[in-house]
Structure 1
Amino acid sequence: MSLRLFCSALCGALLAGGAVHATEPAHAAILFENVRIFDGKGSALSAPSSVLVEGSLITRLSQGGIKVEGEVQRIDGQGKTLMPGLIDAHTHLMFATLPQIAVLTNDVTFTTVAATRAANDMLMRGFTSARDLGGPVFGLKKGIDMGLINGPRIWPAGAMISQSGGHGDFRLPNELPALAGQYSFGERANAAMVADSPDAVRQRTREQLALGASQIKVMAGGGVASNYDPIDVTQYTVPEIRAAVEAADNWGTYVTVHAYTPKAVRQAIEAGVKCIDHGQMLDEDTARLMAEKGVWWSLQPFTDDRKSPFPEGSANRRKQLEMYKGTDHAYAMAKKYGIKTAFGTDALFSAQAAASQGTMLAKMGTWYTPAEVLRMATHDNAELLALSGPRSPYPGRLGVVEAGALADLLLIDGDPLKDLSLVADPAKHFKVIMKDGKIYKNTL
């Protein structure tokens, strides 16, 4: 038997034998009755309605009753809010909850064990989809998709691609200079790959695409968590970033970059990237350029209101505080210029930070109305996911409550369009959590 046939047979056997670990058995049809719908796009809830889910899809909506032939599970929504599952546009599930030193010094299997819990917890917070922007997440994603563990849908970038001394270079000082053909622990684990020429960047991009990346993440500027690079530095050259863009485009997908400063963002746009992650230190001219080019801005509501994983006075903490200062202005520019904006959390190396996912979403009310916040975390983020085109691992529409859309749904006790703080306490307020037509939580 060839290796390909063996792998195909093995996967088929596992899929056939692995029931999805939802809290309730799957039904042919599930009917939500007496719910008020936030459809992901509007600014008001519907009149009391019924929503029918068949298999993995929403099939019918009606403000009257829906007649269903055959077996159906009925859920009396009691006038509560039915809305799309939430989407986090910037995650690192493999690195979310463990301290950085634990990630860098433990076997990747231990990191994966911690990530399985992080994935389940994320789903239980109502985040049914995540764009993962760096880390060896392919195995975790496969386990979720096969029903071996619970977690969100994952759009994986795989390993971050970084220049030497860049934001994704986590080699220790005693590992430098690198010897030819010598790979660091982070590279062997496929967490971050170091590449220092257009050809090397092209190769690393192609490798991640071959492994199943739905988009590519390139480090185009300095960062907070990394040790070598000041936050103001520009990383890579236009030809190097363009090599990643061309390789991704050949696969029908796109490149997003980590960048904070005007120079880093401008050269990334010149190279053809379609999304900027972070950008808290941008100026007006660069924000205007993003709007003109139709580039997405994946922003995170970073403010100095939670415990930092970095010691006070450390270089990392100083970089963090410098970045925090730009958050208010960044959101103001995103609104002023009508830039396509995504919500993400970028929780790293802290179980406390990961658990605050809903709190961070509620904090978005500092800059947007509740309807704008929820639209960003559902419909708008789904549009960003769709940039993966044919490399999207989950065909179908997300982020909306419409006939034909994928059935990722939340039933919330209360009206989040009036009280956005409801999303900060999902354990209390999220009564039903559904992903792909399967119920993972039901406390009605």
Structure 2
Amino acid sequence: MYESNTSKHHKLFIIGAGASGLMAAVTARDLGIDTAIIESNDRVGKKVLTTGNGRCNITNESTATGTDEAVALSRKYHSNQTEFPLPVLQQFGVRQTADFFNTLGLPLIAVENGRMYPMSLQAASVLDIFRIALEDRNVPIYFKTKVLDVTVSREHPRFTILCQTETEGQIVYTSDYIFLCTGGLTAPKTGTDGSGYTLARRLGHTLIDPVPGIVQLKLEYPYLKELSGVKFEGLGHIIVNGEVIRSEYGEILFTDYGASGPPILQLSRKAAYQLARGETVTLSLDMMPDRTEVEVVDFLDTHWGTFGHRTVAASLIGILNKKLIPVLLKEAGIDQEPNLLCQDLSWKTKKILYRLMKRWEFIVTDTNGFTNAQTTAGGIDTKELKEGTLESKLVPGLYLAGEVMDVDGDCGGYNLQWAWSSGYSAAMALADHLAGTT
């Protein structure tokens, strides 16, 4: 047991004032639970400010139709236990999220592809509304307070929380229940430094090795600087051992280190895990996804037949981004023949160009790291949590919410939706427990 000159006790302590912690705090307090928050930063929700390009992509309404809304929504999530998110999403889905924020005074609007944002299109509005809600409910927040350790006792109070503060040095807090809402490893400058993993492991939990998710990919390719800035609508595939393991369509962007854009971000989780396992990972790009391979051959043959008098480089203007063309010709081995006419193309070179249009392959060497990732894949093993309630099976009274556990979503507001859903579900489960209904 730790000794301190100062001690504070609350029925529930929430460690972390990110999205899941804020949702849990408001919900728990509305349910009559004596709740307080411990936050290492000097303000709440620092990471929320970075989401949705500063607009805060709160959720996504594209799955919010039909009787199987929660099932459709759950397919946007990944975990070692694929069915684990469903009971949580059934309790609190997209519609409940929109209703919740509306009751706080923050109406949402759908802007693109079902993505929902605050009407102000400012992430700061979300935090302002939460601050007001917490003040209205008299929820204490202990800022600039870093949790060093948590110990469990069979006696009251059950949890002892050792913290380091800027003003009081080490301080001990006690509680009957704890919500671990510390996030993962993404955006470490906002405070998500993986400390929640350490706390959970000390309490007996297992960590599934985290990797960056929704992040750019680094590629091994000699002409990346020439391609940097090029955008095109295409289809990306992640290939491992000759097998396509995931495909995504949309705007793909070349960078000086590799590739970005929504499809790449979606593909990155698969790539990161395969790289962590030591596999060779290939990114294959289809620059004409609306045509089959046969149709590409027919299209290019007709085009080159019509404009046989033009150079190959000139013939591709208007079909491909102009910056792509010289690199493509290098890849096809004809860059040393700038005046090569379409009518003089060999069958061998044509086949290379056909293939590049549909299957331009790059070796993936790495992701762009946790600093640039939007989410963390991996985390505390969900097999050690109760489905639907998110209470630890190992430590009664300990609940997890948000990114700290092994659940992550696709790009498009789904990770924030998990934060809202899991924070709400944990608070409801604790209220039901205290009421004696579970």
* TM-score of the aligned structures, taking structure 2 as reference length: 0.22
Rg larger in 1 or in 2? 2
* Larger RCO (alpha carbons 8 Å, 6+ apart): 2
Higher strand share: 2
